Amino acid sequence: MDTPLEGAFGLAVAACLGLSVGSFANVVVHRVPRRGLSVNRPTRSFCPSCSRQLTWSENIPLLAWLALRGRCRTCSAPIPWRYPAVELLVGLLFVGLWWLSPPVDQDAVVWLGTGMLLAVTCVVVSAIDIEHLIIPDAITLPGMLVGLVLSAVFPVLHEAHPGFDPGLDPGGAHGSSLLLAGAGMLAGGGSLWIVGQLGNLLLRARVQAAGIEDAMGLGDVKWMAAAGTFLGPLGVLDAILAGCFTGALVGVAMKLAARMRGAPSPGGIPFGPFLCVGILAQLAQPGAAWWLVSRVLVSPG
């Protein structure tokens, strides 16, 4: 059993790792949606306003932003709050995942690493969707492939799912895990696509009034297909349910707040962040969404 010092050291390692990965996540958030930029081109971070390359000290997560007081050292252009927020959020998520599943054995290491990968991708997807109202194919399509490959290599990712049965699959544990990943991809993408088509039929006037083409963007569909390869069919449906429930609550709150201010009701809002909340909830507590909805919607007795 870990001593308190060992436990604190592990959480500190997770925090430092999360802050560093969060710094890289900011690079992805800024560059992937923009033409002419890629994650590895240019190789050095730069100020978006004056294009000056940043020094190593200006890339230290959180501390650099605080030291610079949120402004570029050269041109004094403001550095958005998104940068420290992403770094801090990824750091907190990594600490939470480490706390939930310390890397005490190989299976726990696999689960932790996969959870961290999915968590930081959720942060990236949410930040891009909030800023640009898109979820790029450059994230979702490789995500599907990575999820399928990891599931085939590490059956532990799906062995807790009810459908996992190595004895019934010719490929054994690896084949059963891959089959569940594929089923999760179809369940996640397919179910959200169906919801979008129903929304287009039932809410066509409202969708057009909001100035958007579809009730459900294909980026959301592809993102949940990718998430399904990690979560499996039941897990991804649970994540979607949690995302829809959270989105509905926030949407109602925004409409009530707008009505109290006498402002027009908000139009279309990005759904990706709410789906990411559902994914993170599923990572933290599998099945939590079904439990919550049953308590809220089903009357006792």
Given a contact cutoff of 8 angstroms between Cβ atoms, the answer to whether 277 and 246 are in contact is yes
**Is 237 strand, coil or helix?**
helix
pTM: 0.89
Whether 34 shows a pLDDT value over 60: the answer reads yes
Given a contact cutoff of 8 angstroms between Cβ atoms, the answer to whether 271 and 247 are in contact is yes
In terms of Cα–Cα distance, which of 48, 50, 79 is closest to 66? Answer: 79
56-85 mean pLDDT: 91
pLDDT at res. 278: 94
* Distance from C-alpha of 158 to C-alpha of 150, rounded to nearest angstrom: 10
Q: Residue type for 76, please? A: S
Given a contact cutoff of 8 angstroms between Cβ atoms, the answer to whether 270 and 233 are in contact is no
Whether 209 shows a pLDDT value over 90: the answer reads no
What is the percent of the chain with per-residue pLDDT over 70, rounded to a whole number?
A: 85
129-141: pLDDT as tens digits: 999 999 999 999 9
In terms of Cα–Cα distance, which of 272, 231, 259 is closest to 131? Answer: 272
The residues facing 71 across adjacent strands are 78
Winning range, highest mean pLDDT, from 52-61, 166-175, 265-274, 281-290: 52-61
264-301: pLDDT as tens digits: 766 667 889 999 999 999 999 887 777 666 666 554 44
Given a contact cutoff of 8 angstroms between Cβ atoms, the answer to whether 143 and 118 are in contact is no
What is the percent of the chain with per-residue pLDDT over 90, rounded to a whole number?
A: 53
The residues facing 46 across adjacent strands are 53
The kind and range of the H/E element at 301 are: none
Given a contact cutoff of 8 angstroms between Cβ atoms, the answer to whether 267 and 116 are in contact is no
pLDDT at res. 266: 66
Given a contact cutoff of 8 angstroms between Cβ atoms, the answer to whether 227 and 239 are in contact is yes
